[in-house]
Structure 1
Amino acid sequence: MAKQKLYWRTDFSIRAPSLRVIDSEGKLVGVLTKDEAIKKAHEAELTLIEIAPNAVPPVAKIADYGKFKYAEEKKLAKQSKGVKGGEVKEIRFSPFIGENDFQTRIKRIKEFFADKNKVRVVVVFKGPQMRVKNTGYLVIKRVLDVLGDSVITDMPPKFLGKHLITVISQTTKVKKVKEQDVSEVSEPDESNHAKNQIKKIIN
């Protein structure tokens, strides 16, 4: 399976004029202008990485980009390995996928389930599509609705760069998706998501 390509805006590619900044030690610096934050990062010979673009203001971390990206990839790999059962296959959707393509992917997911595999559902965003991130949650909710009550989520939906990712599996028992997972899909709260990210980094 092809390796996930994760992406974050860095330094001057960040569009927000001001950011809530976390330093390389995981401490919250406060709200700085983009130029101030970039200067602070460069003085430490590090990179300013936007980790929560939809927060108000967006959250950025000062870090070594290579090490940061490697750590995030390890997290994703660990989450996938933590899913018990067969292999984890991947199916990709776009946030505005057409009906025929959607049904084709649903059919493929069912084939993976028939082979006793888990499925990593990935909604891939491109460019300005990131401004309407809620569409990704709606795509995942639709996938869960179509597949029915015998499907459970092994990993709740989570944004990694421009990818919204969840892992699902089929159970032989009729079991509804966990309520907390459904609420996360149907009513995403980017502000709370950003706060949780800050807490994880600081702690």
Structure 2
Amino acid sequence: MLDKSKKERKRNEIEPLINERIKYSQIRLIDTSGSQLGIYSSSEALTIALNAGLDLVLISEKSNPPVCRIIDYGKYKFAQEKKAKEAKKKQHNVTIKEVKMRYKIDVHDYNVRINQAFRFLQGGDKVKANVIFRGREIQHTKLAIELLNKMAQDLSHISEIQQPPAKDGKNMIMILSPKKI
């Protein structure tokens, strides 16, 4: 039983109150064209809406008195869902893409990593450049820092350094983010 009531409460939080569900004694009424009709009792407003063949929808319950509008609820709900989809489309989640290499990287391999990082940055993602050390190679951190700085220099026209080269265990890491235009 508790689960059902939680679901109902959640649904009520998402969906606005309509028609008979509106329990306020006084409400501010707005018609289909958007002009205010005045303050009515809930029952009077509901009869006006039903006579027009439309629904009475609670728009804002935080104002005093609460604001209700006479509209077709199906169209209203469709418009709200469409707005939510548009807002979701406009969002861009920035992800961190990783480019791994060793400090003894060959020129061609380095160019491949630069091209990968370039593609990631063009796509609006951040790039985590990771130089991996094995065994005694950890002694050559200066070479890794030089490599990462060279990479930052080669990509400076499209990116900026968010986190400078830093040692992270047996790795040397640098994070690049796309330049803001």
TM interval, short-chain normalised:
0.3 to 0.5
- Asked which structure has the greater CA Rg, the reply is 2
Q: RCO higher in 1 or 2 (8 Å CA, sep ≥ 6)?
A: 1
Q: TM-score, normalised by structure 2?
A: 0.47
Provide the TM-score with structure 1 as the length reference.
0.42
